[in-house]
Amino acid sequence: MTFRRFAAIAVAAGTALALAGCGGSGASGDKTYTIASDNAFAPFEYMDTTTNKYVGVDMDILAAIAADQGFKYEVRNVGFDAAMGEVQSGQSDAMIAGMTITDKRKETYDFSDGYFEDGQVLAVPTASTITALTDLEGKNMAVKTSTQGATYAQSISDQYGFTLQFYEDSPTMYTAVINGANDGCFEDRSVVGWAIKSNGIALKTVGDVINSGQYGFAVKKGTNADLLEKFNKGLAKIKSNGKYDEILAKYGY
Protein backbone atom coordinates (compact mmCIF):
# COMPACT_ATOMS: atom_id res chain seq x y z
CA MET A 1 0.00 0.00 0.00
CA THR A 2 1.36 3.40 -0.94
CA PHE A 3 1.55 6.28 1.52
CA ARG A 4 -0.96 8.17 -0.66
CA ARG A 5 -3.43 5.35 -0.25
CA PHE A 6 -2.68 5.17 3.47
CA ALA A 7 -3.31 8.89 3.85
CA ALA A 8 -6.65 8.47 2.13
CA ILE A 9 -7.73 6.29 5.01
CA ALA A 10 -7.30 9.25 7.32
CA VAL A 11 -9.82 11.39 5.47
CA ALA A 12 -12.35 8.64 4.90
CA ALA A 13 -15.51 9.86 6.58
CA GLY A 14 -18.86 8.45 7.53
CA THR A 15 -20.17 5.44 9.35
CA ALA A 16 -19.51 1.79 8.68
CA LEU A 17 -22.52 -0.39 9.28
CA ALA A 18 -21.90 -4.02 10.18
CA LEU A 19 -24.75 -6.25 11.26
CA ALA A 20 -23.94 -9.59 12.83
CA GLY A 21 -26.58 -12.27 12.30
CA CYS A 22 -28.12 -14.25 15.10
CA GLY A 23 -26.62 -17.60 15.98
CA GLY A 24 -24.60 -19.30 18.66
CA SER A 25 -25.86 -18.94 22.21
CA GLY A 26 -27.72 -16.25 24.09
CA ALA A 27 -29.87 -14.67 21.35
CA SER A 28 -30.67 -11.02 21.98
CA GLY A 29 -34.05 -10.73 20.31
CA ASP A 30 -34.51 -7.63 18.16
CA LYS A 31 -31.94 -5.53 20.03
CA THR A 32 -29.24 -4.02 17.81
CA TYR A 33 -26.32 -2.59 19.75
CA THR A 34 -24.57 0.53 18.52
CA ILE A 35 -20.81 0.19 18.82
CA ALA A 36 -18.53 3.22 18.37
CA SER A 37 -15.01 2.84 17.04
CA ASP A 38 -12.01 4.66 15.62
CA ASN A 39 -11.76 5.40 11.91
CA ALA A 40 -8.00 5.33 11.24
CA PHE A 41 -6.18 3.04 13.67
CA ALA A 42 -4.78 0.26 11.50
CA PRO A 43 -4.56 -2.65 11.95
CA PHE A 44 -7.37 -2.50 14.52
CA GLU A 45 -9.85 -0.47 12.47
CA TYR A 46 -9.27 1.16 9.10
CA MET A 47 -11.03 1.60 5.80
CA ASP A 48 -10.29 -0.93 3.09
CA THR A 49 -10.23 1.38 0.07
CA THR A 50 -11.00 -1.50 -2.30
CA THR A 51 -14.35 -2.19 -0.61
CA ASN A 52 -14.99 1.11 1.23
CA LYS A 53 -15.66 -0.90 4.38
CA TYR A 54 -13.94 -0.76 7.74
CA VAL A 55 -11.84 -3.79 8.58
CA GLY A 56 -9.23 -4.72 11.19
CA VAL A 57 -8.50 -6.74 14.31
CA ASP A 58 -11.24 -5.07 16.37
CA MET A 59 -13.81 -5.41 13.59
CA ASP A 60 -13.06 -9.13 13.17
CA ILE A 61 -13.03 -9.86 16.90
CA LEU A 62 -16.37 -8.08 17.36
CA ALA A 63 -17.89 -9.95 14.41
CA ALA A 64 -16.69 -13.31 15.72
CA ILE A 65 -17.99 -12.65 19.23
CA ALA A 66 -21.37 -11.42 17.95
CA ALA A 67 -21.73 -14.51 15.78
CA ASP A 68 -20.95 -16.76 18.72
CA GLN A 69 -23.21 -14.93 21.18
CA GLY A 70 -26.05 -14.26 18.77
CA PHE A 71 -26.39 -10.48 18.97
CA LYS A 72 -26.80 -7.81 16.32
CA TYR A 73 -24.74 -4.66 16.17
CA GLU A 74 -24.03 -1.57 14.14
CA VAL A 75 -20.57 0.03 14.09
CA ARG A 76 -20.05 3.79 13.99
CA ASN A 77 -16.45 4.56 12.96
CA VAL A 78 -16.39 8.12 14.24
CA GLY A 79 -12.82 8.46 15.58
CA PHE A 80 -11.36 7.62 18.99
CA ASP A 81 -12.19 10.78 20.93
CA ALA A 82 -15.66 10.97 19.37
CA ALA A 83 -16.28 7.31 20.20
CA MET A 84 -15.55 7.96 23.86
CA GLY A 85 -17.99 10.85 23.78
CA GLU A 86 -20.71 8.77 22.13
CA VAL A 87 -20.51 6.11 24.84
CA GLN A 88 -20.60 8.73 27.60
CA SER A 89 -23.59 10.51 26.05
CA GLY A 90 -25.51 7.29 25.39
CA GLN A 91 -25.41 7.64 21.60
CA SER A 92 -23.53 4.33 21.46
CA ASP A 93 -23.89 1.32 23.73
CA ALA A 94 -20.17 0.49 23.72
CA MET A 95 -16.87 1.08 21.98
CA ILE A 96 -14.06 -1.05 20.63
CA ALA A 97 -11.13 1.00 19.39
CA GLY A 98 -7.81 -0.29 20.67
CA MET A 99 -8.70 1.31 24.00
CA THR A 100 -6.26 0.56 26.82
CA ILE A 101 -7.82 -0.40 30.14
CA THR A 102 -6.61 2.01 32.84
CA ASP A 103 -7.65 2.81 36.41
CA LYS A 104 -8.51 6.35 35.35
CA ARG A 105 -10.80 5.16 32.56
CA LYS A 106 -12.45 2.69 34.93
CA GLU A 107 -13.92 5.70 36.72
CA THR A 108 -16.22 6.30 33.74
CA TYR A 109 -16.25 3.00 31.82
CA ASP A 110 -16.78 -0.67 32.59
CA PHE A 111 -14.39 -2.87 30.61
CA SER A 112 -14.40 -6.36 29.25
CA ASP A 113 -11.58 -8.78 29.85
CA GLY A 114 -8.46 -7.69 27.98
CA TYR A 115 -8.22 -8.90 24.39
CA PHE A 116 -4.84 -7.55 23.21
CA GLU A 117 -1.70 -6.33 24.99
CA ASP A 118 0.15 -3.29 23.70
CA GLY A 119 2.04 -0.21 24.84
CA GLN A 120 3.38 3.08 23.58
CA VAL A 121 6.60 3.78 21.75
CA LEU A 122 8.43 6.89 20.58
CA ALA A 123 8.45 7.28 16.79
CA VAL A 124 10.54 9.79 14.81
CA PRO A 125 11.40 10.45 11.14
CA THR A 126 13.80 7.91 9.67
CA ALA A 127 16.55 10.57 9.38
CA SER A 128 16.11 11.86 12.94
CA THR A 129 19.05 11.86 15.34
CA ILE A 130 16.75 11.35 18.35
CA THR A 131 17.73 8.13 20.11
CA ALA A 132 16.21 8.51 23.58
CA LEU A 133 13.78 10.55 25.64
CA THR A 134 16.69 12.66 26.83
CA ASP A 135 17.02 14.00 23.27
CA LEU A 136 13.55 15.57 23.36
CA GLU A 137 14.43 18.81 25.15
CA GLY A 138 13.07 21.74 23.15
CA LYS A 139 11.25 19.44 20.71
CA ASN A 140 7.60 19.65 19.65
CA MET A 141 5.98 16.24 19.88
CA ALA A 142 2.76 14.99 18.31
CA VAL A 143 0.12 12.97 20.15
CA LYS A 144 -3.40 11.75 19.44
CA THR A 145 -6.19 13.30 21.53
CA SER A 146 -7.47 11.26 24.52
CA THR A 147 -5.07 8.35 23.98
CA GLN A 148 -2.64 6.66 26.33
CA GLY A 149 0.17 8.02 24.18
CA ALA A 150 -1.04 11.53 24.94
CA THR A 151 -1.45 10.80 28.64
CA TYR A 152 2.06 9.36 28.87
CA ALA A 153 3.61 12.24 26.91
CA GLN A 154 1.89 14.80 29.13
CA SER A 155 3.21 13.05 32.23
CA ILE A 156 6.85 13.34 31.12
CA SER A 157 6.82 16.55 29.05
CA ASP A 158 8.10 18.76 31.86
CA GLN A 159 10.75 16.24 32.86
CA TYR A 160 12.18 16.04 29.36
CA GLY A 161 11.40 19.60 28.27
CA PHE A 162 9.23 19.11 25.18
CA THR A 163 5.93 20.62 24.06
CA LEU A 164 2.90 18.83 22.65
CA GLN A 165 0.61 19.21 19.65
CA PHE A 166 -2.61 17.21 19.50
CA TYR A 167 -4.17 15.46 16.49
CA GLU A 168 -7.48 13.67 16.00
CA ASP A 169 -6.19 10.63 14.10
CA SER A 170 -3.00 8.66 13.64
CA PRO A 171 -2.38 9.20 9.89
CA THR A 172 -2.59 12.99 10.26
CA MET A 173 -0.20 12.78 13.20
CA TYR A 174 2.27 10.68 11.20
CA THR A 175 2.12 13.09 8.28
CA ALA A 176 2.88 16.03 10.58
CA VAL A 177 5.98 14.26 11.90
CA ILE A 178 7.18 13.19 8.46
CA ASN A 179 6.69 16.70 7.08
CA GLY A 180 8.64 18.26 9.95
CA ALA A 181 5.78 20.02 11.74
CA ASN A 182 6.63 17.87 14.77
CA ASP A 183 9.83 16.14 15.83
CA GLY A 184 8.22 12.84 16.72
CA CYS A 185 5.15 11.22 18.24
CA PHE A 186 4.04 8.76 20.88
CA GLU A 187 1.88 5.95 19.51
CA ASP A 188 0.83 2.38 20.25
CA ARG A 189 3.63 0.09 19.13
CA SER A 190 1.42 -2.24 17.07
CA VAL A 191 -0.20 0.62 15.21
CA VAL A 192 2.89 2.60 14.24
CA GLY A 193 4.69 -0.68 13.57
CA TRP A 194 1.92 -1.65 11.13
CA ALA A 195 2.13 1.75 9.42
CA ILE A 196 5.88 1.40 8.98
CA LYS A 197 5.81 -2.22 7.80
CA SER A 198 2.62 -2.31 5.75
CA ASN A 199 2.38 1.25 4.46
CA GLY A 200 6.03 2.18 4.22
CA ILE A 201 5.75 5.47 6.08
CA ALA A 202 9.07 7.18 6.76
CA LEU A 203 9.20 6.71 10.53
CA LYS A 204 11.26 4.58 12.89
CA THR A 205 10.68 3.62 16.51
CA VAL A 206 13.10 4.58 19.28
CA GLY A 207 13.67 2.73 22.54
CA ASP A 208 11.54 0.16 24.31
CA VAL A 209 7.78 -0.20 24.58
CA ILE A 210 6.49 1.74 27.57
CA ASN A 211 3.30 1.89 29.59
CA SER A 212 2.01 -1.47 28.37
CA GLY A 213 -1.55 -2.56 29.03
CA GLN A 214 -4.55 -4.52 27.74
CA TYR A 215 -7.06 -3.29 25.18
CA GLY A 216 -10.68 -3.67 26.27
CA PHE A 217 -14.24 -3.39 25.01
CA ALA A 218 -15.92 -0.58 26.99
CA VAL A 219 -19.41 0.50 28.04
CA LYS A 220 -20.53 3.49 30.09
CA LYS A 221 -20.04 2.70 33.77
CA GLY A 222 -23.08 1.01 35.26
CA THR A 223 -24.78 0.30 31.92
CA ASN A 224 -25.03 -2.50 29.35
CA ALA A 225 -23.83 -5.21 31.71
CA ASP A 226 -25.55 -7.79 29.48
CA LEU A 227 -23.53 -6.73 26.45
CA LEU A 228 -20.30 -6.79 28.46
CA GLU A 229 -21.12 -10.31 29.66
CA LYS A 230 -21.77 -11.45 26.09
CA PHE A 231 -18.47 -9.96 24.94
CA ASN A 232 -16.53 -11.74 27.69
CA LYS A 233 -18.24 -15.07 27.03
CA GLY A 234 -17.67 -14.75 23.31
CA LEU A 235 -14.05 -13.72 23.78
CA ALA A 236 -13.40 -16.80 25.93
CA LYS A 237 -15.08 -18.97 23.31
CA ILE A 238 -13.12 -17.67 20.31
CA LYS A 239 -9.89 -17.99 22.28
CA SER A 240 -10.68 -21.63 23.09
CA ASN A 241 -11.79 -22.62 19.58
CA GLY A 242 -8.87 -21.01 17.74
CA LYS A 243 -10.79 -18.20 16.03
CA TYR A 244 -8.98 -15.51 18.06
CA ASP A 245 -5.55 -16.78 17.01
CA GLU A 246 -6.76 -16.99 13.43
CA ILE A 247 -7.79 -13.32 13.51
CA LEU A 248 -4.47 -12.17 14.96
CA ALA A 249 -2.52 -14.24 12.43
CA LYS A 250 -4.46 -12.57 9.62
CA TYR A 251 -2.91 -9.25 10.69
CA GLY A 252 0.56 -10.62 11.33
CA TYR A 253 0.43 -11.32 15.09
Q: Up-side HSE of residue 117: CA atoms within 13 Å toward CB?
A: 5
Where in the chain are all domains bearing CATH 3.40.190.10?
3-115+216-250, 118-213
Pairing of strands 72-77, 140-144: unpaired
CB 109 within 8 Å of CB 220: yes
| H helices present in 43-169, as ranges | 57-69, 80-89, 148-160
CATH class of 118-213: alpha beta
Residue 52 main-chain phi, psi, to 5 deg: 60, 35
At 24 the pLDDT is: 38
> Strand, coil or helix: what is 148?
helix
The pLDDT score that the predictor gives to residue 211 is: 85
- Judge residue 226's burial from the number of C-beta atoms within 10 Å of its C-beta, 0-12 exposed, 13-18 middle, 19 or more buried: middle
Per DSSP, the three-state class of 247 is helix
For the residues of 168-199, what is the DSSP string, one character each? SSHHHHHHHHHTTSSSEEEEEHHHHHHHHHHH
How high is the pLDDT of residue 127?
97
* Architecture, CATH, for domain 3-115+216-250: 3-Layer(aba) Sandwich (3.40)
Alpha-carbon distance of 252 to 210, in angstroms, equals: 21
Given a contact cutoff of 8 angstroms between Cβ atoms, the answer to whether 44 and 115 are in contact is no
pLDDT 10s digit of each residue in the chain, 253 long?
Answer: 443 344 444 434 344 444 444 333 344 458 999 999 999 999 999 999 999 999 999 999 999 999 999 999 999 999 999 999 999 999 999 999 999 999 999 999 999 999 999 999 999 999 999 999 999 999 999 999 999 999 999 999 999 999 999 999 999 999 999 999 999 999 999 999 999 999 999 999 999 998 899 999 999 999 999 999 999 999 999 999 999 999 999 999 9
